[in-house]
C-alpha cells in the first residue's frame, strides 16, 4: 500500500515535472561555474581519447566552438529534453501501467553522475535511441512501414556519431521478428532509412575529398578493443549496488510477468535486450564504446523506473531511497 501511494505521488503533473527540472539544473551546477574541467564522473577510460571523433560529431564541432558555453547549454538542453521524452514515452505506449516520472528521475540521477556535463556524441545518442524506440514501438502497433523507415533513420544517424552503434540493428530486427512485424516491406523500409544518412555522409566526404577520413573513422572503431576503466572503492560499491538492483529488476520481469499483456511483455523484453546488448559492447571495449554509456543509462533508467513503479513491496521502497542516498553520496565524493 505504501509503495502504491508512493508511485501515485510521482505522477507527471506540473508540480513534479517542475521539481524534476529544478533537480536537473541543480545537478548540472558546474555549468554555471567560471571554470569547468568537463570531467566525467565514473566512466573515464585509463587511456585513449576522451571521446573518439566521428563523421557527424566532427561536422557539429565545426559549427560549435569546441568546449564552449554553447556546448554546455546544448548538452543541458538535450539532457532535459531526453528526460521529457522519457515521461512522454510512457504516456504514449503505457510501457509502465501507471503514469509516473520515475524513469526520468533515474535518468536525471544516473545521467548527472555518469555523463560529462558538456556536448559529446553520446548525449545525442540518448535522444536518437529514444527516437528509435518510439519508431519501433509505433511500427509493431500500426505496421506502417514509415515507422520502420524512421527506426532505420535513427540508427543510421547514431552510427555516424558512434560507429559501434550500428550493432544495435541486431536487437531491433529480433524485436520486429518476435512481434511478427518483420516482412519484406518493413525490411526494405528500415534499410532505406538506414542508407539515406550514410549516403549523404559518403557524398559529403567525397565532395570535400576526404573519403579516407570516413573510412578511418569506422576502422578505428572496430580495429582494437582497448577501453579499460578504473574505479575507486566508492564507485565500485555504487556500481555493484546498481548491478544487483538491475539484476533483481530484470529477474522480477522474467519470473513475474503474469500481469503483463503480450505487447507489454515484448516491449519490456526489447528494452532489456537492448540494455544487455549495449552493456556487452561496453564490456568488450570498442574504442568508441564510451559513447554507448549514454543510451545505456537511458535504458537503465527505464528498467529501474518500471521496476520500482510496479513493485510495491517494502523492500523495494527501502532500496529506492537507499539508491537516492548512495547516488547523492557518489555525486558529491566521486
Of 162, 158, 196, 155, give the one whose Cα is nearest residue 176.
155
State the pLDDT at residue 270: 93
Q: What cell numbers appear for 259 in the block?
A: 500481469
pTM to 2 decimals? 0.89
Domain range summary for the chain, segments of one domain joined by +: 2-28+52-333
Which residues lie closer than 8 Å to 160 by C-beta, 6 or more apart? 54, 55, 56, 197, 198, 201
State the pLDDT at residue 62: 66
**Given pLDDT bands bounded at 50, 70 and 90, which one contains residue 323?**
very high
Which tens digits make up the pLDDT trace of 232-276?
788 889 999 999 999 999 999 888 766 667 777 888 999 999 999
Which tens digits make up the pLDDT trace of 85-105?
999 998 888 788 788 899 999
Give the C-alpha separation, 67 to 61, whole Å. 9
Which tens digits make up the pLDDT trace of 214-236?
777 777 766 666 566 677 788 88
- 8 A C-beta contact, residue 194 and residue 153: yes
State the pLDDT at residue 131: 95
Q: Has residue 39 got a pLDDT over 50?
A: no
Q: Has residue 45 got a pLDDT over 50?
A: no
**Taking the CA atoms of the chain, what radius of gyration do you get in angstroms?**
20
Give the C-alpha separation, 137 to 88, whole Å. 13
Amino acid at each position: 500500500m505504501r509503495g502504491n501511494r508512493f508511485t501515485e505521488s510521482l505522477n507527471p503533473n506540473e508540480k513534479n515535472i517542475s521539481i524534476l527540472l529544478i533537480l536537473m539544473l541543480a545537478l548540472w551546477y558546474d555549468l554555471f561555474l567560471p571554470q569547468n574541467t568537463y570531467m566525467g564522473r565514473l566512466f573515464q577510460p585509463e587511456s585513449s581519447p576522451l571521446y573518439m571523433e566521428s563523421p557527424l560529431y566532427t561536422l557539429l564541432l565545426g559549427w560549435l566552438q569546441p568546449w564552449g558555453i554553447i556546448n554546455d547549454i546544448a548538452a543541458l538542453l538535450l539532457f532535459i529534453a531526453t528526460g521529457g521524452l522519457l515521461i512522454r514515452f510512457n504516456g504514449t505506449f503505457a510501457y509502465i501501467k501507471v503514469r509516473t516520472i520515475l524513469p526520468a528521475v533515474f535518468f536525471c540521477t544516473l545521467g548527472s553522475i555518469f555523463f560529462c556535463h558538456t556536448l559529446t556524441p553520446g548525449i545525442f545518442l540518448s535522444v536518437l535511441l529514444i527516437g528509435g524506440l518510439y519508431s519501433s514501438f509505433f511500427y509493431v502497433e500500426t505496421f506502417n512501414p514509415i515507422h520502420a523507415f524512421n527506426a532505420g533513420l535513427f540508427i543510421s544517424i547514431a552510427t555516424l556519431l558512434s560507429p559501434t552503434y550500428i550493432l544495435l540493428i541486431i536487437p531491433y530486427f529480433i524485436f520486429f521478428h518476435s512481434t511478427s512485424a518483420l516482412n519484406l516491406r518493413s525490411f526494405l523500409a528500415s534499410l532505406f532509412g538506414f542508407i539515406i544518412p550514410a549516403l549523404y555522409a559518403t557524398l559529403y566526404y567525397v565532395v570535400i575529398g576526404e573519403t579516407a577520413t570516413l573510412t578511418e573513422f569506422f576502422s578505428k572503431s572496430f580495429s582494437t578493443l582497448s577501453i579499460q576503466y578504473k574505479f575507486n572503492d566508492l564507485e565500485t560499491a555504487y556500481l555493484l549496488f546498481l548491478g544487483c538492483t538491475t539484476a533483481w529488476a530484470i529477474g522480477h520481469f522474467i519470473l513475474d510477468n503474469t500481469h503483463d499483456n503480450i505487447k507489454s511483455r515484448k516491449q519490456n523484453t526489447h528494452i532489456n535486450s537492448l540494455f544487455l546488448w549495449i552493456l556487452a559492447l561496453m564490456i568488450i571495449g570498442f574504442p568508441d564504446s564510451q559513447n554507448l554509456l549514454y543510451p545505456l543509462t537511458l535504458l537503465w533508467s527505464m528498467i529501474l523506473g518500471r521496476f520500482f513503479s510496479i513493485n510495491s513491496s517494502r523492500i523495494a521502497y527501502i532500496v529506492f531511497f537507499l539508491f537516492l542516498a548512495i547516488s547523492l553520496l557518489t555525486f558529491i565524493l566521486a
